[in-house]
């Protein structure tokens, strides 16, 4: 093992990405894992010898060791997502078994578990802060979920299961990335491009240029795919792209079987079932909910089915109106799956006299960011500024910002990576680069976030222009960022987003989306790229009027994902055999008002569930939307830019991290438990 000049062993804060070499990753991770294990053993020897079991002499040393490992692993994991190469992928994946083994080593360490129990029985424990106690309680829960009570044989089985699950998660993600990168469609006849806006044509032209091809090239990256579905007059072009998109990494479609995730997800379901059973749960959702706000699988299913019942009738009416419009105005007697988005956009234009595409000119990325930061300033008193000084960035399109509070005190920083590109995972997300914590010298280390999107890049000297949906996306991800950066909790395990119940982690993000629909905010979020004028009153009114366009259909679509996820995990039983298609078909019959093609394999690219942290938890988006709608209703009552209300949200939600249970945080802010009324009202759902 060569450790000479291994930069990953030297990182102390912001990473210098150019110094991170794939060949160093495994050696660094293995070394840091061994150092962490050594720290645990030496710490236990010391506290056992002294007989003093305190938070400072037991927990703090282990936090610092784990933080050292995370400082090395976080940029590696991030680069694997945003600058994926064959070498970095191999280096990343090679470390997953060792990281799983280390997690099991900690979670099943009986000496450490007993030391924690003794610390909790020490009279000094009662003097700990609320955050420290919550951190300890979470750790004790994690011991149980890691199988601390299992026999040695079963603990070995646990390690085998979690190691394989980690490997499969990476395989699933890699297959989706390869499937997206591996497909494109070239058009050389301009007649096929009728209806497509100039922004989509420019991107397609650039895609062709990068591949040294003539004409136009369309890919499965969302900024390329979505405009085809919305605006391409050619039903055949829409069909080709739709089929490729919904069969990514599956046994269907143009690349059938090439990167097939079907066997991968079925093995994941089986291993999750076995893991839950091993730990004494009846099913995987019971195991998953141990870390969430929801108390039982029944509570989740009741919530989802109640919402489906409320939205179904309105969804059917919205579908009937769309079909009637398509037939009467375009002679479309049968609405195919690849036609729905196209005619939905046409119908929206018919009803509101504007299209999503024509609003791009009012939302250049730089102006949207200014508006986002102004919104945060008015609500929470924070200021966002470009960082002064040198910070190494991993790509030319990435920028770096600092965040200051109302007293001009520094609170944290974030990288912004806004544009789609090859070798970058699809979607949008926020991740932590550095967590807030107290360092050995007694100083606070401020947090740092990665904010990642996949917007249209600037082309031909023109700035990146966003759709209004893109605007809500950046507001959403910045809500997560605020949760990480504005925490005042210094306890590592519950600072920022650490320790926050997974079905409440979307509260701040969905909460921030509300300001994208407020006329007062839109006036300074928008600015015509040519004239500088904000969104005119007539277009502003039309946009706001369109807010709940097909809202029931949107909720039903979310319910299809949430119910498919939850039921696949809840009802999995190896005795019954493969029921994936059966369960998904039953969910579709319940919540889908349209006919979905037999070849659709959305589950094979369902990254949230099979490669992210949302297994048996996709319901969290709807659950958190209920929370965010109810929280925002207080602003509707007291003023959408009421600083006092904003500071209350800052102090009782954003700054708290995971130091207080999420339901208690919500009740502290709202003065009561959450209600569904605001969600239904905001979505325009009647009944």
pLDDT at 2 over 80: no
Residues 42 and 150 in one domain: yes
Residues 129 and 172 in one domain: yes
Whether 265 is in a domain gets the answer no
Residue 355 confidence (pLDDT): 85
Residues 365 and 430 in one domain: yes
Specify whether 477 is catalytic.
Answer: yes
Whether 2 is in a domain gets the answer no
Whether 278 is in a domain gets the answer no
Residues 144 and 172 in one domain: yes
Residues 12 and 155 in one domain: yes
pLDDT at 4 over 80: no
Residue 588 confidence (pLDDT): 96
Contact 606, 268 (CB under 8 A): no
Please choose, from the candidates 681, 679, 686, the residue with its C-alpha nearest in 3D space to the C-alpha of residue 622: 679
Angstrom CA distances, 61 to 43, 54, 116, stand at: 7, 11, 13
Residue 338 confidence (pLDDT): 98
Three-class secondary structure of residue 554 per DSSP: helix
Q: Say which range, 85-89, 158-162, 430-434, 501-505, has the weakest mean pLDDT.
A: 501-505
Residues 156 and 73 in one domain: yes
Residues 237 and 375 in one domain: no
pLDDT at 656 over 50: yes
Angle of CA points 530, 531, 535, to nearest 5°: 105
Whether 320 is in a domain gets the answer no
Per-residue pLDDT tens digits for 289-339:
999 999 999 999 999 999 999 999 999 999 999 999 999 999 999 999 999
Q: How many domains does the chain have?
A: 3
Residues 526 and 470 in one domain: yes
Give the mean model confidence (pLDDT) for residues 156-175.
Answer: 98
Per-residue pLDDT tens digits for 545-576:
999 999 999 999 999 999 999 999 999 999 99
Residue 1 confidence (pLDDT): 47
DSSP notation for 169-184: HHHHHHHHHHHHHH-E
Q: Which helix (H) or strand (E) holds 598?
A: none
Pairing state of beta strands 448-455 and 429-434?
Answer: antiparallel
Give the global pTM: 0.94
Residues 37 and 146 in one domain: yes
Residue 39 confidence (pLDDT): 98
Give the mean model confidence (pLDDT) for residues 147-176.
Answer: 97
Nearest-angstrom CA–CA distance, 70 and 93: 16
Given 318, 345, 357, 477, the catalytic residue: 477
Nearest-angstrom CA–CA distance, 591 and 569: 18
Residues 538 and 495 in one domain: yes
pLDDT at 227 over 60: yes
Residues 536 and 405 in one domain: yes
Give the mean model confidence (pLDDT) for residues 42-51.
Answer: 97
Nearest-angstrom CA–CA distance, 625 and 303: 12
Whether 336 is in a domain gets the answer no
What percent of the chain shows pLDDT beyond 70?
99
Six-digit token string for 377:
């300033």
Q: Which residues, 6 or more positions from 193, have their beta carbon under 8 angstroms from its beta carbon? A: 187, 201, 204, 216, 232, 234, 237
Domain residue limits at 232:
195-246
Per-residue pLDDT tens digits for 51-72:
999 999 999 999 999 999 999 9
Mean pLDDT across the chain: 96
pLDDT at 362 over 70: yes
CATH code for the domain of 37:
1.10.1370.40
Residue 365 confidence (pLDDT): 98
pLDDT at 135 over 90: yes
Q: Which residues, 6 or more positions from 50, have their beta carbon under 8 angstroms from its beta carbon? A: 57
Residue 686 confidence (pLDDT): 79
Per-residue pLDDT tens digits for 381-426:
999 999 999 999 999 999 999 999 999 999 999 999 999 998 999 9
pLDDT at 687 over 70: no
């Amino acid at each position: 093992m060569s450790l000479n000049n291994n930069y990953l062993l030297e990182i102390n804060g912001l990473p210098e990405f150019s110094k991170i070499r794939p060949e160093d990753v495994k050696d660094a991770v293995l070394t840091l894992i061994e150092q962490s294990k050594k720290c645990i053993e030496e710490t236990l020897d010391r506290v056992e010898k002294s007989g003093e079991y305190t938070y400072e002499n037991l927990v703090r040393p282990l936090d610092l060791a784990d933080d050292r490992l995370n400082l090395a692993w976080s940029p590696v994991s991030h680069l694997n997502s945003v600058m994926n190469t064959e070498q970095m992928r191999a280096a990343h994946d090679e470390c997953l078994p060792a990281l799983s083994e280390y997690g099991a080593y900690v979670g099943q360490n009986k000496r450490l578990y007993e030391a924690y129990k003794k610390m909790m029985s020490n009279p000094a424990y009662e003097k700990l802060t609320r955050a420290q106690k919550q951190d300890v309680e979470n750790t004790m829960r994690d011991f149980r979920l890691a199988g601390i009570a299992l026999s040695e044989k079963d603990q070995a089985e646990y390690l085998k299961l979690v190691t394989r699950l980690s490997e499969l998660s990476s395989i699933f993600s890699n297959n989706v990335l390869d499937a997206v990168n591996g497909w494109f469609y070239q058009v050389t006849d301009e007649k096929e491009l009728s209806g497509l806006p100039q922004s989509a044509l420019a991107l397609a032209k650039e895609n062709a240029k990068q591949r040294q091809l003539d004409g136009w090239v369309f890919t499965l990256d969302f900024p390329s795919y979505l405009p085809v579905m919305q605006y391409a007059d050619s039903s055949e072009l829409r069909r080709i792209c739709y089929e490729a998109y919904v069969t990514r990494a599956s046994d269907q479609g143009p690349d059938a079987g090439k990167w097939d995730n079907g066997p991968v997800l079925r093995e994941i379901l089986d291993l999750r079932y076995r893991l839950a059973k091993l730990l004494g749960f009846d099913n995987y959702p019971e195991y998953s909910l141990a870390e969430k706000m929801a108390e039982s699988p029944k509570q989740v299913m009741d919530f989802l089915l109640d919402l489906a019942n409320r939205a179904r009738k309105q969804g059917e009416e919205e579908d009937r109106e769309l079909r009637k419009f398509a037939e009467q105005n375009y002679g479309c007697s049968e609405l195919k799956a690849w036609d729905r988005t196209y005619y939905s956009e046409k119908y929206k234009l018919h009803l509101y006299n504007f299209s999503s595409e024509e609003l791009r000119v009012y939302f250049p990325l730089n102006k949207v960011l200014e508006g986002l930061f102004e919104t945060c300033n008015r609500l929470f008193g924070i200021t966002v500024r470009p960082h002064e000084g040198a910070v190494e960035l991993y790509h030319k399109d990435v920028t770096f910002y600092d965040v200051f509070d109302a007293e001009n005190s520094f609170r944290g920083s974030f990288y912004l990576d806004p544009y789609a590109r090859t070798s970058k995972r699809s979607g949008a997300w926020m991740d932590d680069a550095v967590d807030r914590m107290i360092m050995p010298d007694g100083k606070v280390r401020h947090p740092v976030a990665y904010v990642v999107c996949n917007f249209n890049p600037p082309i031909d000297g023109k700035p990146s222009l966003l759709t209004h949906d893109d605007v809500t996306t950046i507001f959403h991800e910045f809500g997560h960022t605020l949760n990480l950066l504005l925490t005042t909790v210094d306890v590592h395990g519950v600072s920022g987003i650490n320790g926050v119940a997974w079905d409440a982690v979307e509260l701040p993000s969905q909460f921030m989306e509300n300001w994208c629909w407020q006329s007062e905010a839109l006036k300074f979020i928008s600015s015509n790229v040519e004239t500088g004028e904000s969104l005119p009153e007539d277009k502003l009114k039309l946009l706001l009027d369109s807010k709940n366009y097909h809202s029931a259909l949107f909720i039903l679509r979310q319910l299809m994902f949430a119910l498919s996820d939850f039921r696949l995990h809840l009802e999995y039983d190896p005795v019954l055999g493969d029921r994936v298609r059966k369960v998904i078909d039953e969910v579709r019959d319940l919540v889908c008002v349209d006919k979905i093609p037999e070849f659709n394999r959305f589950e094979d690219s369902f990254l949230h569930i099979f490669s992210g942290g949302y297994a048996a938890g996709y319901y969290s988006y709807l659950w958190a939307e209920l929370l965010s709608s109810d929280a925002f209703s207080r602003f509707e009552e007291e003023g959408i830019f009421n600083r006092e209300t904003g500071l209350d949200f800052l102090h009782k939600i954003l700054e708290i991290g995971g130091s207080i249970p999420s339901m208690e945080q919500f009740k502290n802010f709202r003065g009561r438990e959450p209600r569904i009324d605001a969600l239904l009202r905001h979505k325009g759902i009647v009944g």
